[in-house]
């Protein structure tokens, strides 16, 4: 997929709902402040738009506290979109809420539909050469097998990889920087899953900065992690720092907040 793995014409986001205060979290580090999250979200959308992309902002969905994290609802590839089956029971219904938007944009939309299949977009990293999927508490073998069959129809190979224990999603610990380069925590890279890729290591103690996004010429990166930011700048990336303090309370990051794609 080369540049198609990080150059996109479109993104979809969803504004945070007041119910975000009830969002899922592994550890309670405080209640997210809605106003601060809204300000961070606005900066995030502005940074996407600054690259020239069309950004579709969906309205808040109060029935789904975690629905700001739209990435988990779908996988968007050049050939089509796949509607996921989130493994968190409170999030399962978010996928159906996203489907009409993608059906308006894509000619081909397929679905993970088996009762036993669960898979969330946060566990999927699309690189320039393959689709990597980490099995996690949210993504199971049946979900991965169903997705593998769909993407094979579109000419993509899928490889199951390792999500470190206790880590929410595969992409909690890594990000694509360009077709052959990933930003990764040491604990994830140590699994060997990025053999053959160039790996930029997240600085020790800044593991929470591993979830960033390359979107066209920009890298959107969470504010507050200066040593890792400097590594990316030194590697030649145009880094835009975005506040992530409130999403971080819900284990969310830069990738979680958008679907990024060029509709086919
Ligand atoms: N709070 C995001 C998630 O757990 O899916």
Q: Alpha-carbon distance 205 to 207, whole Å?
A: 6
β-bridge partners, 214: 219
Over residues 191-211, the pLDDT tens digits come to 999 999 999 999 999 999 999
Which residue is closest in CA terms to ligand 1's atom 4? 24
Which of 22, 23, 71, when mutated, tests ligand 1's pocket best, judged by the most ligand atoms within 8 Å of its CB? 23
Q: Report whether pLDDT(221) > 80.
A: yes
Q: What ligand 1 atom has the least distance to the C-alpha of 88?
A: 5
Q: From the CB of 207, is ligand 1 less than 6 Å away?
A: no
Encoding tokens for residue 56? 């579709």
Closest CA to 121 of 80, 78, 171, 161: 171
Q: Report whether pLDDT(48) > 90.
A: yes
Q: From the CB of 222, is ligand 1 less than 6 Å away?
A: no
Fold of domain 2-261: 3.75.10
Q: Report whether pLDDT(218) > 70.
A: yes
The answer to whether the predicted template modeling score (pTM) of the entire model surpasses 0.95 is: yes
Please tell me the predicted confidence (pLDDT) of residue 1: 61
Over residues 104-149, the pLDDT tens digits come to 999 999 999 999 999 999 999 999 999 999 999 999 999 999 999 9
Closest CA to 211 of 262, 179, 180, 167: 167
Encoding tokens for residue 120? 């969330």
Q: From the CB of 121, is ligand 1 less than 6 Å away?
A: no
Domain boundaries, the chain: 2-261
Encoding tokens for residue 261? 């794609």
Please tell me the predicted confidence (pLDDT) of residue 72: 98
Number of separate helices (H) and strands (E) present in the chain: 6, 15
Strands 131-135 and 109-111: unpaired
Please tell me the predicted confidence (pLDDT) of residue 264: 84
Closest CA to 215 of 4, 3, 2, 8: 8
- Average pLDDT of the chain is 97
Q: Which residues contact 23 (CB under 8 A, 6 or more apart)?
A: 32, 65, 66, 68, 250, 252
Q: What ligand 1 atom has the least distance to the C-alpha of 138?
A: 5
Q: How far is the CA of 24 from the centre of ligand 1 (A)?
A: 5
Over residues 90-104, the pLDDT tens digits come to 999 999 999 999 999
Please tell me the predicted confidence (pLDDT) of residue 258: 99
β-bridge partners, 77: 80
Which of the four pLDDT bands, split at 50, 70 and 90, describes residue 243? very high
Q: Report whether pLDDT(84) > 90.
A: yes
Q: From the CB of 88, is ligand 1 less than 6 Å away?
A: yes
Encoding tokens for residue 243? 């506040």
Question: What residues are annotated to the active site?
Answer: 169, 256
């Amino acid at each position: 997929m080369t540049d198609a793995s990080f150059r996109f014409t479109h993104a979809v986001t969803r504004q945070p709902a007041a119910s975000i205060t009830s969002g899922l979290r592994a550890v309670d580090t405080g209640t997210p402040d809605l106003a601060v999250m809204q300000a961070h979200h606005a900066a995030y959308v502005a940074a996407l738009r600054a690259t020239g992309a069309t950004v579709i902002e969906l309205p808040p969905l109060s029935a789904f506290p975690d629905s700001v994290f739209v990435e988990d609802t779908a996988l968007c590839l050049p050939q089509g979109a796949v509607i996921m089956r989130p493994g968190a029971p409170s999030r399962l219904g978010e996928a159906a809420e996203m489907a009409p938007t993608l059906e308006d944009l894509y000619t081909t939309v397929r679905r993970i539909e088996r009762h036993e299949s669960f898979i969330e977009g946060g566990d999927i990293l699309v690189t320039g050469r393959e689709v990597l999927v980490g099995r996690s508490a949210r993504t199971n073998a049946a979900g991965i097998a169903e997705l593998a069959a769909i993407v094979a129809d579109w000419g993509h190979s899928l490889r199951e990889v390792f999500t470190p224990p206790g880590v929410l999603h595969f992409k909690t610990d890594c990000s694509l920087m360009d077709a052959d380069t990933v930003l990764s925590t040491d604990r994830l890279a140590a699994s060997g899953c990025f053999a053959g890729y160039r790996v930029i290591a997240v600085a020790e103690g800044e593991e929470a900065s591993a979830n960033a996004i390359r979107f066209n010429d920009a890298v959107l990166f969470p504010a507050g992690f200066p040593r890792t930011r400097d590594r990316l700048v030194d590697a030649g990336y145009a880094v835009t720092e975005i506040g992530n303090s409130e999403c971080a309370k819900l284990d969310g990051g830069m990738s979680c907040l958008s679907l990024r794609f060029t509709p086919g």
